[in-house]
């Protein structure tokens, strides 16, 4: 039988404030942790920053008009906390609110459902300086206060909200491997404390949300990398479950059940790094878990789990930020698992495994474990610039990648998963946090490199492909 998504399926695309907006000091915007971090030599590819990014701040009308031309049903974007509260809290910066008001109105004008991410990694630097940002529990109320301002401002216009983008990634890269701000690696206990604060901030926000926008939909977006044991030797099957518990369920279980996976909690307790969970925390997490409406999933790749001896590889390894295949190192947790590459699958130039069926696997795992609706909040292929002289971009590899993933997603729906939306990463080309402007994800090519450029927009072949997909409900 023919596969086809329902008529009201939200075909979308996604972005994040720091990666597209630019205008890093305009209209009262405060400094974020990322504005600071990129100033440290050697932290990003060729020292690239988001100071200008792809200038979406000034070109949002043009960009949203392109979305409308494509027929996009939803646009997922994040709000920069520093535009709303330049110092993280205190007085609201009205021109910041106005900017997002304009984006939302522009979307609605074109019949595009806005989907808002509250936090996509750019934390007000003032809060870092004041009390250490996520390291202090003071951040919880500041986060909730920021969220409530947005709920009040946009409650009549925005239905879909995402609290955290990839809490697993920003905490792991920020506190375990030092690749994101604040660039720390030597305090494992703090890594779990930071996560606990983020969970509590998420949970309090979900409960507030239900008071302010009772018919709205809220969840968190998780970077989910499902795993396969390297072979049928039970020792690797054990590594797989340890990996899933420590790297996936540690977050998803808290969002969906309001509690940490017990075996992993015990493991961390023995190590002396488990977060303290008070009775009040437990009640709050559980209450919020009952209220979330969907699991947001950012899906890029799957992992392989293999046993890793106590003297084996650790969590930090060189990351491939150059696009030279094979330059990324294997990492793991000594005594539990390591994550070698998958001999059965191809990779991107950045060593990311390409596994369309893994998307269906992810959906089925979430459906059986949590029985929650799913929003695919990111999925996409990073590739090099390949514009021809007459401004054409023949990105057939991107079309092949997305097409295979859409097909697997439709199979997941056919097999009983309740999927509401599919957002590709990304609509326009934009800044890749550690890989600069050379790693492109968009349907729209933006003329710029590390040095700058005209910032003109050009439609890639994938633009027309996705337009057809949307028009035909993905019919195969
Ligand atoms: C996700 C982030 C996005 C985006 C994407 C692509 O982890 O939520 O913000 O950057 O990955 O990643 P990269 O730019 O590293 O290729």
CA geometry: angle 436, 161, 90, nearest 5 deg: 80
Interior/surface letters 425-437, b for 16+ CB within 10 angstroms, e for the rest: bbbbbbbbbbbbb
Give pLDDT tens digits for 287-305: 999 999 999 999 999 999 9
DSSP 3-state of 276: coil
Supply the pLDDT for residue 389: 81
Q: Are 17 and 120 in contact (CB under 8 A)?
A: yes
CA of 195 to the centre of ligand 1 (A): 19
Class of residue 1 by CB neighbours under 10 A (exposed 0-12, middle 13-18, buried 19+): exposed
**Residue 374 — very low, low, confident or very high, per pLDDT cuts 50/70/90?**
very high
- For a substitution probing ligand 1, which of 349, 425, 442 has the most ligand atoms within 8 Å of its CB? 425
What are the C-alpha distances in Å from 244 to residues 141, 237, 283?
Answer: 31, 11, 24
Name the residue at shortest CA distance from atom 12 of ligand 1.
Answer: 432
Rounded distance between C-alpha atoms, residue 15 and residue 443, angstroms: 12
| pLDDT at 179 > cutoff 90 | yes
Q: Are 196 and 277 in contact (CB under 8 A)?
A: yes
Rounded distance between C-alpha atoms, residue 59 and residue 228, angstroms: 43
CA of 21 to the centre of ligand 1 (A): 15
DSSP 3-state of 379: coil
Supply the pLDDT for residue 415: 97
Which two tokens mark 223? Answer: 């970077």
Average pLDDT, the chain: 97
Q: What is the pTM of this model?
A: 0.97
How many CB atoms are closer than 10 A to CB 249?
21
| pLDDT at 476 > cutoff 80 | no
| pLDDT at 402 > cutoff 80 | yes
- For a substitution probing ligand 1, which of 378, 382, 384, 401 has the most ligand atoms within 8 Å of its CB? 378
CA of 353 to the centre of ligand 1 (A): 14
| pLDDT at 413 > cutoff 70 | yes
Rounded distance between C-alpha atoms, residue 75 and residue 100, angstroms: 13
Rounded distance between C-alpha atoms, residue 319 and residue 432, angstroms: 14
Atom of ligand 1 nearest to the CA of 382: 16
The DSSP string of 295-358 is EEEE----EEEB---TTS--S------S--TT-SPP-EETTTEE----TTS-B-TT--B--HHH
Q: Are 264 and 243 in contact (CB under 8 A)?
A: no
Q: Catalytic amino acids?
A: 378
Name the residue at shortest CA distance from atom 4 of ligand 1.
Answer: 432
Percent of the chain with pLDDT over 70: 100
Supply the pLDDT for residue 386: 78
Interior/surface letters 72-101, b for 16+ CB within 10 angstroms, e for the rest: bbbbbbbbbbbbbbbbbbeeebeebbebbe
Atom of ligand 1 nearest to the CA of 439: 16
Name the residue at shortest CA distance from atom 15 of ligand 1.
Answer: 432
Atom of ligand 1 nearest to the CA of 433: 14
Supply the pLDDT for residue 1: 63
Q: Are 105 and 113 in contact (CB under 8 A)?
A: no
How many CB atoms are closer than 10 A to CB 274?
17
Residues touching ligand 1 (Cβ under 6 Å) are 16, 19, 165-166, 169, 223, 298, 378, 382, 425, 432-435, 439
Pairing of strands 444-446, 457-459: antiparallel
Terminal-residue alpha carbon distance, the chain: 9
Say if domain 10-471 classifies as CATH 3.20.20.80.
yes
Supply the pLDDT for residue 105: 98
Atom of ligand 1 nearest to the CA of 380: 6
Closest by CA to 421, choosing from 74, 104, 111, 89, is 74
Q: Are 197 and 278 in contact (CB under 8 A)?
A: no
Tell me the average pLDDT across 188-202: 98
Rounded distance between C-alpha atoms, residue 215 and residue 211, angstroms: 10
| pLDDT at 470 > cutoff 90 | yes
Tell me the average pLDDT across 150-176: 98
Q: Are 380 and 432 in contact (CB under 8 A)?
A: no
Rounded distance between C-alpha atoms, residue 55 and residue 51, angstroms: 9
Percent of the chain with pLDDT over 90: 95
CA of 118 to the centre of ligand 1 (A): 16
Distance of CA 291 to the CA centre of its chain: 21
Tell me the average pLDDT across 195-204: 98
Pairing of strands 295-298, 227-229: unpaired
CA of 433 to the centre of ligand 1 (A): 7
Name the residue at shortest CA distance from atom 14 of ligand 1.
Answer: 432
CA of 432 to the centre of ligand 1 (A): 6
Any residues with CB less than 8 A from the CB of 310 and at least 6 apart, and which?
334, 335
Cα atoms found within 13 Å of the Cα of residue 65, Cβ hemisphere only: 5
CA of 151 to the centre of ligand 1 (A): 26
CA of 223 to the centre of ligand 1 (A): 9
Name the residue at shortest CA distance from atom 10 of ligand 1.
Answer: 432
List strand residue ranges (DSSP E) for 128-265, in order.
160-165, 217-223, 227-229
Hey, where are the domains in the chain?
10-471
CA geometry: angle 440, 406, 470, nearest 5 deg: 85
Tell me the average pLDDT across 225-237: 98
Rounded to 5 degrees, what are φ and ψ at 41?
A: -55, 140
| pLDDT at 405 > cutoff 70 | yes
């Amino acid at each position: 039988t023919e596969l086809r998504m329902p008529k009201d399926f939200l075909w979308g695309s996604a972005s994040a404030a720091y990666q597209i907006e630019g205008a890093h000091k305009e209209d009262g915007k405060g400094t974020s942790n990322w504005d600071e971090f990129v100033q440290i030599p050697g932290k990003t590819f060729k020292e690239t920053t988001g100071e200008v990014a792809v200038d979406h701040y000034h070109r949002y009308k043009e960009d949203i008009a392109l979305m409308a031309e494509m027929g996009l049903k939803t646009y997922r974007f994040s709000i920069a906390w520093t535009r709303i509260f330049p110092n993280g809290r205190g007085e609201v910066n009205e021109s910041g609110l106005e900017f997002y008001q304009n984006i939302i109105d522009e979307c609605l004008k074109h019949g595009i459902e806005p989907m808002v991410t509250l936090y996509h990694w750019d934390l007000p630097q003032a809060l870092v300086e004041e009390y250490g940002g996520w390291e202090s529990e003071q951040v919880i109320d500041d986060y909730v206060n920021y969220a409530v301002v947005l709920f009040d401002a946009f409650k009549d216009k925005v239905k879909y909200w995402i609290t955290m983008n990839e809490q697993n990634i920003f905490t792991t890269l920020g506190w375990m491997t030092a690749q994101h701000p604040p660039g720390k690696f030597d305090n494992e206990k703090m890594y779990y404390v930071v996560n606990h604060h983020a969970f509590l901030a998420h949970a309090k926000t979900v409960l507030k949300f239900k008071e302010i926008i009772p018919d709205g939909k809220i969840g968190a977006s998780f970077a989910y990398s499902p795993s396969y044991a390297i072979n049928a030797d039970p020792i690797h099957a054990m590594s797989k479950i340890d990996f899933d518990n420590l790297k996936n369920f540690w977050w998803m279980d808290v969002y969906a059940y309001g509690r940490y996976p017990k075996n992993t909690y015990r493991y961390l307790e023995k190590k002396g790094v488990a977060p303290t969970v008070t009775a009040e925390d437990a009640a709050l997490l559980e209450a919020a878990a009952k209220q979330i409406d969907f699991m947001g999933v950012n899906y890029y790749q799957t992992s392989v789990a293999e046993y890793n001896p106590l003297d084996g590889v650790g969590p930090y390894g060189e990351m491939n930020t150059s696009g030279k295949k094979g330059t990324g190192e294997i990492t793991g947790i000594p005594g539990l698992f390591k994550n070698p590459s998958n001999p059965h699958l191809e990779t991107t130039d950045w060593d990311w495994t390409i596994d369309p069926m893994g998307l269906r696997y992810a959906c089925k795992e979430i459906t059986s474990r949590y029985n929650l609706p799913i929003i695919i909040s990111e999925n996409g292929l990073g590739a090099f610039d390949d514009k021809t002289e007459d401004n054409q971009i023949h990105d057939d590899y991107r079309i092949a990648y997305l097409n295979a993933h859409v097909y697997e997603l439709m199979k997941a729906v056919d097999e009983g998963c309740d999927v509401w939306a599919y957002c590709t990463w990304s609509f326009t080309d934009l800044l890749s946090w550690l890989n600069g402007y050379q790693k492109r994800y968009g349907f729209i090519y933006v003329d710029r490199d590390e040095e700058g450029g005209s910032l003109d927009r050009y439609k890639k072949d994938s633009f027309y492909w996705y337009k057809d997909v949307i028009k035909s409900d993905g019919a195969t």
